[in-house]
Chains A and B, each alone.
Chain A
Amino acid sequence: MSDFTGPPPFEFWDRVQGHLGAYCHAATGTNWSATHEDFDNPAAVPGYCGDLRIVTDVNIDGVPAMDVAAAAARAPGDAGVVSVLSKGTRGWIFEMQSNTSFVGDQDYVISAKVLITNRVLLDPIDDNGFRIGAGVERDAFNVSYPAFLAGGDKTTWHISCPRESGGPAVVTDTGVVIEDLGTTLPFAPWYVLTISRVGYALRFFINGKLIRIGGLEGVYLEDYPHEVRRYLLTRAFHPGALGTGFYMDYFHRLCRR
């Protein structure tokens, strides 16, 4: 749009109003809700990774397994980074989550910037070697939540999501390779993982690129799921190396009320 060559199409005006309205509602209004975690706190709060509560942090000896700490920014674009890395070589489980959001049939987006170290030492994808998304694999009500998966048995990111409302989760290979250079600098690149629902259409993005599922843009799921949360689970129950785990730069959520 340049001077004296307008006007823009009406969509521009309405979208400006819509986006501005959503941001203001999320800040001080009633119709949107947003939570940002930029991992900007240089001191880890015991029991928490940023504002996410650590639900499980244990190795096979029953003691805390992971070092949760602010990490140095290592490249342009790193803006508050947390590292969650194994202290020893014993197998471990680490799980963290936020409070729940009852999204009902409303739009939402959950987005995280992550980097995995020593992916090959993680449990297989089917055993949640690394799961990040909107909730657990299957809850007490048999609901499966959309998530990105990684594991020691697969070199690529996968997606876990039902193909129909109330159906079981189906795991799909995204084809996006997870570069993994172990724990030696320079590490693998960051991955921005985004789950979006707009009008019942659930879509997945890696680094801003839409991931097709079964050849389609996304999955159309009415009334699923009712609740979401920012959630991460990772495990490596085979003997591992020091410093296995992940780095995270942010983990955000935006929901329409």
Chain B
Amino acid sequence: MHDPLSYPYYPVHSYLDGGAPAVTATEFYNPTQDHIARLFHGSLGTAYSICTEEFDRESDSAAAAAGDRFGSQLIVQTATNVEGFSTGALGAGDHGIWRVWNVAGGVSDFIARDAETWVGTQEFIWTAKVQFFNGTFARLETAGNEGFLIGLGNLASNLPCFYCGPDFPDWQTFANGAGVATGVPVADGVWYWLIITRQGSDVKWYIKNGANPLALERTLTWGANLTACRRYVRMNQNAGGAAADGFYIDMFARGVPR
């Protein structure tokens, strides 16, 4: 469940009567039991935790201050000259969208997060779907100043994340004090699925870039004990920010063993 490019996210085989291909314990029986167990534990049990924010709640007022709800599961930590609120789905595949935008132009800062998770040395999966609009990317703060960041925590936390800024053309990956480019350019008007997982001791970053298939962008062997992990998202602009700059978010989820 922590590899978005394999079973259960993709079928093992299309099985045919007559025994070809064979249904094996390694490929099918054991993984199926494991994944079902994770889902049941995540729902009702003790050994797994799943939180999925689908942004399906319509806002009755803008999330514009610390303490306001962002979606149903996240809370605004910082809101400077920004508003977050629900908006209509833009196109096929959008299921509950919230928008964050710069209200008056100029400096803006938005941070939303959920409660802490102690991942430890375990595997995990963090998944998010975001899009910039209004030419925002060019007016973000620099990547080092977290122009836009989404992941398990901010840069100071050293936790794995994606981040970007106009000083780099591509999505950047970060963990353990070092950022590495992905080669996937950041553009307005494009939905990005951004997935961070740990499989064994390998932290992996994946991007689905618009209509392109999901692809592994980076692997870092890092089995460190990760504490104070959150679903964390930030948009940060300096004085060059324009009114109505912002981003959409469609989904932000995490799965982690207990």
Contact A99 B4 (CB under 8 A): no
CB contact under 8 A between A102 and B93, given known A28-B1, A29-B4, A29-B9: yes
Q: Does A165 contact B (CB under 8 A)?
A: no
Task: Chain B residues near A101: list those with CB within 8 A.
Answer: 56, 89, 94-96
**Interface flags, B75-119, vs A, CB<8A=1, else 0:** 000000000001011111111110000000000000000000000
Q: Across the interface, do A7 and B19 meet the contact criterion of CB distance under 8 Å?
A: yes
Q: How far is the CA of A195 from the CA of B54 in the complex (A)?
A: 20
Residue B55 CB within 8 A of the other chain? yes
Q: Name the interface residues of B47-68: CB closer than 8 Å to any CB of A.
A: 50, 52, 54-60
Contacting residue for B255 out of A7, A17, A27, A48, CB 8 A: A27
Name the residue of chain A whose CB is nearest to the CB of B2: A28
B residues less than 8 Å from A255 (CB atoms): 95
* Binary contact track B14-27/A, C-beta < 8 Å → 1, others 0: 11110100010000
Q: Is B208 an interface residue (CB 8 A)?
A: yes
With CB as the reference atom, state the residue of chain B lying closest to A101. B95
B18 → A minimal CB distance (Å): 8
Give the Cβ gap from A32 to chain B, nearest Cβ, in Å: 9
With A30-B4, A98-B58: A103-B92 Cβ-Cβ less than 8 Å: yes
Which residues 5-46 of B sit at the A interface, judged by CB distance below 8 A? 7-17, 19, 23, 28, 32, 35-36, 39, 42
Pick from B59, B91, B127: contact of A30, CB under 8 Å: B127
Q: Are A99 and B127 in contact (CB under 8 A)?
A: no
> Quick check: B254 and A28 within 8 Å, CB to CB?
yes
Question: Quick one: which of B9, B39, B255 has the most chain A CB within 10 A?
Answer: B9
Interface size class of A (residues with CB under 8 A): 35 or more
> How far apart sit A52 and B57, CA to CA, in the bound complex (Å)?
6
CB distance from A128 to the nearest CB of B (A): 20
- Look across to chain B and name the residue whose beta carbon is closest to the beta carbon of A33: B95
Question: Is A3 engaged at the interface, CB distance under 8 Å to the other chain?
Answer: no
Q: Are B32 and A20 in contact, CB atoms less than 8 angstroms apart?
A: yes
- Inter-chain contact B19/A28, CB cutoff 8 Å: no
B35 close to A20 (CB less than 8 A) = yes
A100 to B90, CA, bound (A): 9
CB contacts under 8 Å to B, within A202-233, are 226-227, 230
CA A34 to CA B97, docked complex, whole Å? 14
Which residue from B23, B55, B86, B97 sits with its C-beta under 8 Å from A7? Answer: B23
Q: Which residue of A lies closest to B254 (CB)?
A: A28
Judged by a CB distance under 8 angstroms, whether B72 is at the interface is: yes
Bound CA–CA A14/B17 (angstroms): 11
- Chain B CB count within 10 A is highest, among A28, A29, A31, A53, for A28
B251 close to A (CB within 8 Å):
yes
> B129 contacts the other chain (Cβ, under 8 Å)?
yes
Q: When the two chains form their complex, are residues A13 and B55 in contact, meaning their CB atoms are under 8 A apart?
A: no
Q: Is the CB of B60 within 8 A of A14?
A: no
Binding site for A on B (CB under 8 A): 1, 4, 7-17, 19, 23, 28, 32, 35-36, 39, 42, 50, 52, 54-60, 72, 86, 88-97, 125, 127, 129, 193, 195, 208, 214, 251, 253-255
Q: Which 8 A-B pairs have the closest CB atoms?
A: A104-B92, A102-B89, A33-B95, A53-B58, A13-B15, A99-B96, A101-B95, A17-B11
What are 18 A-to-B residue pairs whose CB atoms are below 8 Å? Answer: A10-B14, A17-B32, A23-B8, A27-B52, A34-B52, A48-B57, A51-B72, A52-B57, A99-B86, A99-B97, A100-B89, A100-B97, A101-B89, A102-B90, A106-B93, A227-B89, A253-B56, A255-B95
Identify 10 new A-B residue pairs, CB closer than 8 A, beyond the known A14-B14, A51-B72.
Answer: A17-B28, A24-B35, A28-B255, A53-B57, A97-B58, A98-B57, A99-B96, A101-B96, A105-B92, A226-B92
